[in-house]
Amino acid sequence: MAHLLAATTVENGNVLIAITLLAVPVAAVAFALSGKAWQGIGRGPYAIDPDLPPRSVRRLASPVSRATQEVEVRQMLQAKSYHRERRGEAPIDVEREAERRLADFVGSD
């Protein structure tokens, strides 16, 4: 009986070598067959830094019409005035401030 146990006893070093000799070829084949999977890592719709076209290809923002500018400036000033009132400060004269800011904007062109 002792002979049978001696024949089946495997040392730890032999087990590690056997596992390594089996795992390395399997890993090499899996890596070789992965193809473009490695190129796609870190890309896609949820990537932090998506691939952007070169700056020369990107379109510039289209100019905004004067009417749209006036509406957005008034909306911003109304919100600012509202917040000032909520803090107990004096409200802003929205119309006068809008005209001043729009005049400054047109004058800076």
* 58-80: pLDDT as tens digits: 566 778 888 898 999 999 999 99
Contact 78, 94 (CB under 8 A): yes
pLDDT at residue 87 is higher than 70: yes
Number of C-beta neighbours around residue 73 at 10 A = 18
Residue among 100, 106, 35, 53 nearest 74 (CA): 100
What pLDDT was estimated at residue 99?
A: 92
**Residue 22 — very low, low, confident or very high, per pLDDT cuts 50/70/90?**
very high
What pLDDT was estimated at residue 6?
A: 53
pLDDT at residue 9 is higher than 90: no
DSSP 57: T
pTM: 0.42
What pLDDT was estimated at residue 50?
A: 60
